[in-house]
Amino acid sequence: MRTLSKIRKPTNCVYFLMIISSVFLFQDRLMADNIITSGTTMRVTAGTTVVSQTSVTIQNGATLNNLGTLVLSGNLTNQNASANSLGTGTIVMSGTSVQAISGQNIFGNLTLNNASGITLGGNSTLNGSITFTSGRITLGSNNLLLGTAALVAGAPSATSMVVATGSGQLRKSFSGTGSFTFPVGDAIGTVEYTPVTVNFTAGSFAAGNYAGVNLTNSAYPGATGSYINRFWGVAQSGITGFTCNATFKYMPADVVGTENLIYCLRITPVSVVYFSVANTASDLLTANGITEFGTFTGIQQLANKTLNLTALLEGLYLPEQRQTRSALNYTIRPAMLRNCLLPEMLT
């Protein structure tokens, strides 16, 4: 099998060094599907740019060591059985139709420059910068982990963001306290950018830790009254004893009912916790002092109803039985439930 074919050298080319099966080749533009065969390494040297007009496949046992810039117009397929580093350079996804990244990849830097979008087909890690130029990357059931030094560059928006509406999460590792904005949203119906910002003010951060976010573009099941047609899942691993503040961006079209009656709410795990009322000027839900993550949304706060326990106990007996409450047999009055409630609860 030929690893490279139909290679031409255009004018004004930038030369690079590629090592395949210990053979040195000097080119800058790859024209056919490019396969890095098992036991070989493709190397892009620092300061150089390679453009592949079709897909690149890394066979199991092969390595891509990108120290420069690799621009892909096709798919990137990594067949290695375990997580595999692609080098510390930059990979630019720059196709004109949907591109797929498959396998377990460890990126240096990744640039999204494809208005048609990119799909992630395996759990991946990014240790440098993810740059949002154009197009969305859809996680599906896969996780994208941003390392402790990873940065978000460009201008995330509805046209360039992480679509995290599946079971996969956008995850971020932390070296200590600090803030990070997860550039997430959905592409169901109207495309909407609804990022989440977390700010850890205290905590212990073990090696391999992360906080992760995904979301659902619908009301939380059972929501009534005024509420937001959106909820976010926030999880963590390896972060203990933490205190965190968080904000959740929603869209005006998400609001059902009266917006200024809606509070930020953590629904799971039990018990339910209400935080601040929605910021209607900026369409933000805010939760300060979080010590446990879970599912967050916006719902109208229920009125504070206090159970009158004295009335409850008294109401269990008919009047003639209230002096002999040790009686084994008695009849519960039909109106007993009214005696269990405070007057304001009866309106």
pLDDT in tens, the chain (347 residues): 333 333 333 333 333 333 333 223 334 545 456 999 999 999 999 999 999 999 999 999 999 999 999 999 999 999 999 999 999 999 999 999 999 999 999 999 999 999 999 999 999 999 999 999 999 999 999 999 999 999 999 999 999 999 999 999 999 999 999 999 999 999 999 999 999 999 999 999 999 999 999 999 999 999 999 999 999 999 999 999 999 999 999 999 999 999 999 999 999 998 899 999 999 999 999 999 999 999 999 999 876 544 344 443 444 444 444 444 443 343 444 444 444 443 444 44
Domain annotation covers residue 328? yes
Tell whether 230 and 318 lie within a shared domain: no
- CA separation for the pair 9, 19 (Å, rounded): 17
Q: How many residues does the chain have?
A: 347
Domain count for the chain, please give it.
3
- Answer with the one of 286, 302, 318 that is the final residue of a domain: 302
Domain annotation covers residue 172? no
Which residues form the domain of 284?
190-302
* Helix locations, the chain, DSSP H: 309-314, 336-339
- Answer with the one of 108, 143, 160 that is the final residue of a domain: 160
pLDDT score, position 302: 74
- CA separation for the pair 3, 64 (Å, rounded): 13
Tell whether 210 and 251 lie within a shared domain: yes
Domain annotation covers residue 127? yes
Tell whether 146 and 1 lie within a shared domain: yes
Domain annotation covers residue 16? yes
Tell whether 117 and 64 lie within a shared domain: yes
Tell whether 4 and 140 lie within a shared domain: yes
pLDDT score, position 33: 67
- CA separation for the pair 49, 14 (Å, rounded): 7
Q: What angle do CA 133, 135, 137 make, to 5 degrees?
A: 110
Domain annotation covers residue 175? no
C-beta neighbour count of 190 within 10 angstroms? 10
Domain annotation covers residue 149? yes
Tell whether 61 and 30 lie within a shared domain: yes
Tell whether 12 and 90 lie within a shared domain: yes
Domain annotation covers residue 5? yes
Domain annotation covers residue 169? no
Tell whether 296 and 338 lie within a shared domain: no
Tell whether 8 and 69 lie within a shared domain: yes
Tell whether 236 and 144 lie within a shared domain: no
Tell whether 105 and 72 lie within a shared domain: yes
Is the omega angle on the peptide bond into residue 124 within 30 degrees of 0, that is, cis? no
Sheet holding 162-163, edge to edge: 34-36, 56-58, 76-78, 99-102, 118-121, 137-138, 162-163, 184-186, 192-193
